[in-house]
Amino acid sequence: MHNEFTAIIEKDENWYIAYCPEIPGANGQGRTIEECKQNLSEAITLILEDRREDAFRGIPESAKKEFVTIQ
């Protein structure tokens, strides 16, 4: 699956700091823009994985689970 998110990047002295407005709590930093974006990407992945796990708690075992692809 391919997803794109917005990275808002600011420079703070020797560091780049980024956040993603679509994913509250997703932040990244790095000495380079690429390092900053990679760090942000990892944060987004962790947050989405955690939210997915939370979403499946409490679903009855008898419920059918299927996937929907968004392009």
pTM above 0.85, yes or no: no
- Confidence at residue 2, expressed as pLDDT on a 0 to 100 scale: 63
- Condensed to tens digits (0 to 9), the pLDDT of residues 19-41 reads 999 999 999 999 999 999 999 99
Q: Which percentage of the chain shows pLDDT scores above 90? A: 76
What are the structural domains of the chain?
1-71 (3.30.160.250)
Between the CA of residue 65 and those of 33, 51, 58, 62, what are the distances in Å? 39, 16, 13, 9
- Condensed to tens digits (0 to 9), the pLDDT of residues 54-64 reads 988 889 989 99
